[in-house]
Amino acid sequence: MIARETTPLTFVPVQEEHLPDIMAISADAYPDSWTEGMFRDEFGNHLSHFYVAFDGATLVGYAGFWLVADEVHITTIAVRLDRRGRGYGRQLMDHLLESAGALGATLAALEVRATNAPAINLYTALGFRIAGRRKGYYSKTNEDAIVMMKDLS
Ligand SMILES: CC(C)(COP(=O)(O)OP(=O)(O)OC[C@H]1O[C@@H](n2cnc3c(N)ncnc32)[C@H](O)[C@@H]1OP(=O)(O)O)[C@@H](O)C(=O)NCCC(=O)NCCS
């Protein structure tokens, strides 16, 4: 196996000033990107824990989850298109899972497009297991979602 260099990222809770970078990353990452209003709603939601990741001064990714009782639902994660494949997605997920664990969460769940091999590989490598499938979950593309879960306890 070839060891890969990965720059340690800095994680900070999202702020209004991060929105333009987040919108640009999201537009490249998703066929049905969240609107600015959806991100704003997310940032104002008391259940939501939303972080951005910096490599130096560059915002390279974002990710968030909702904490409900002792379960987290990972709502979104994306890495800047030109910074993928450097271990940043894994660092973002590690940060989410560490934050969730520190808040007392015992279970993490998420949905992922059935065709999204990079994301499914990432989650599998982190110990998520397939727990189900939701037919036509992504209405814009009529794609199925795979439900994945990880025990954090
Ligand atoms: C999914 C995503 C966040 C991964 O970010 P990344 O920084 O490129 O991922 P990493 O470099 O940390 O890779 C971590 C693991 O993910 C998997 N992976 C990443 N890119 C992959 C690819 N192109 N093909 C297959 N597996 C891939 C691998 O298991 C990899 O581990 P490895 O390098 O040891 O093989 C990124 O592809 C992305 O932003 N995609 C668009 C948004 C998206 O689909 N989000 C998920 C919604 S559920």
Q: Report if residue 3 sits inside a domain.
A: no
Take residue 9 and report the two structure tokens written for it: 């990222």
Q: Is the pTM of this model over 0.85?
A: yes
Residue 62 is a catalytic residue: no
Q: Report if residue 4 sits inside a domain.
A: no
Tell me the per-residue pLDDT of 22-52, one tens digit each, with 9 for 90 and over. 999 999 999 999 999 999 999 999 999 999 9
Residues with CB under 6 A from ligand 1: 29, 77-79, 84-90, 112, 116-119, 121-122, 125
Distance 116 CA to ligand 1 centre (A): 9
Tell me the per-residue pLDDT of 70-101, one tens digit each, with 9 for 90 and over. 999 999 999 999 999 999 999 999 999 999 99
Does residue 1 register a pLDDT over 80?
A: no
Does residue 21 register a pLDDT over 50?
A: yes
Take residue 88 and report the two structure tokens written for it: 């940043």
pLDDT bracket for residue 3 (50, 70, 90): low
Q: pLDDT averaged over the chain?
A: 95
Take residue 92 and report the two structure tokens written for it: 């973002």
Catalytic residue chosen out of the listed positions 98, 111, 137, 143: 111
Structural domain of 78: 10-151
Does residue 6 register a pLDDT over 70?
A: yes
Q: Report if residue 75 sits inside a domain.
A: yes
Distance 86 CA to ligand 1 centre (A): 9
What is the crossing angle of helices 88-102 and 117-125, to 10°? 50
Q: Which amino acid, residue 42? A: E
Q: What's the confidence (pLDDT) of residue 5?
A: 72
The 3-state DSSP class for residue 69 equals coil
Distance 1 CA to ligand 1 centre (A): 18
CATH of the domain at 110: 3.40.630.30
